[in-house]
C-alpha cells in the first residue's frame, strides 16, 4: 500500500500535548468518558519505545484516522525533535488525503475501555516507529472496525461526536450512512 506524506509550513501550529500512555484521558473536557485512556500523545521531552509496526496494523490505524473525534480549528504538529516535518502533516493513501493534527481517534477495547489518541499517532507509527501499547494494538485488531454499525453505535452510546471522511465511500453509501445517522438522531438527512 503506497503511503505518501507531505508537509506545508504553518508557523502558528503548536506541538501536540503530552500524556503518558494508558493514563486517564483529560485533554478535551467534553470528550472525557469513564475508562478512557491516552495513547500516542508524544512530545520531544519524553522518550518512547520504538518498534516497527506491521503493515496490517498501520492500515487499520489509518482507517480509524478517517473518523475524526474532537475536531479542532487549528493544527498541532509533530513535536519530536528528529522530525523533518514542521507544519501541517498530510498523508495520502489509496487516493484518500487526510490532514493530521487537528482531531483524535477512539478505539473501543475490552472491559469497556476506550482509547483516545491524537490522529497524529498515524505519523508517529509510520515515521518514528512509535510502539503503541500492546492492549491498544489488541483493541485495534479485535474491536469494532471504524465505520461499522457497531463502532458508530458505540460512539453514539458514549455520546462521542464524530465526523467521517465521506469521500471514502460511493455517493450511495455516503447517503445511506448520513440517512442512518440522521434517523438515529431523529433528524432529517438533507442529502437529496
Please report, for the chain, the start and end positions of each structural domain, with discontinuous segments joined by +.
Answer: 3-144
Phi/psi of residue 68, nearest 5 degrees: -85, 130
Strand partners for 67: 164
Q: What is the pLDDT of residues 40-87, one digit of tens each?
A: 999 989 999 999 999 999 999 999 999 889 888 778 888 887 787 767
Between CA 128 and CA 184 the distance in angstroms is 40
Q: What is the pLDDT of residues 141-173, one digit of tens each?
A: 999 999 899 999 999 999 998 876 444 445 556
Amino acid at each position: 500500500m503506497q503511503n505518501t506524506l507531505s508537509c506545508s509550513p504553518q508557523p502558528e501550529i503548536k506541538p501536540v500535548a503530552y500524556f503518558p500512555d494508558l493514563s486517564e484521558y483529560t485533554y478535551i473536557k467534553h470528550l472525557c468518558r469513564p475508562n478512557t485512556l491516552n495513547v500516542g500523545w508524544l512530545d520531544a521531552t519524553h522518550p518512547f519505545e520504538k518498534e516497527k509496526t506491521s503493515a496490517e496494523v498501520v492500515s487499520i490505524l489509518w482507517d480509524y484516522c478517517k473518523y475524526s473525534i474532537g475536531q479542532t480549528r487549528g493544527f498541532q504538529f509533530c513535536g519530536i525533535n528528529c522530525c523533518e516535518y514542521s507544519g501541517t502533516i498530510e498523508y495520502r493513501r489509496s487516493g484518500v488525503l487526510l490532514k493530521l493534527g487537528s482531531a483524535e481517534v477512539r478505539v473501543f477495547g475490552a472491559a469497556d475501555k476506550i482509547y483516545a489518541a491524537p490522529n497524529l499517532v498515524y505519523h508517529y507509527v509510520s515515521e518514528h516507529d512509535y510502539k503503541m501499547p500492546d492492549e491498544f494494538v489488541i483493541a485495534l485488531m479485535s474491536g469494532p472496525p471504524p465505520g461499522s454499525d457497531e463502532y458508530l453505535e458505540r460512539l453514539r452510546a458514549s455520546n462521542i461526536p464524530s465526523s467521517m471522511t465521506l469521500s471514502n465511500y460511493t455517493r450511495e453509501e455516503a447517503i445511506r450512512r448520513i440517512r442512518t445517522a440522521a434517523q438515529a438522531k431523529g433528524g432529517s438527512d438533507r442529502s437529496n
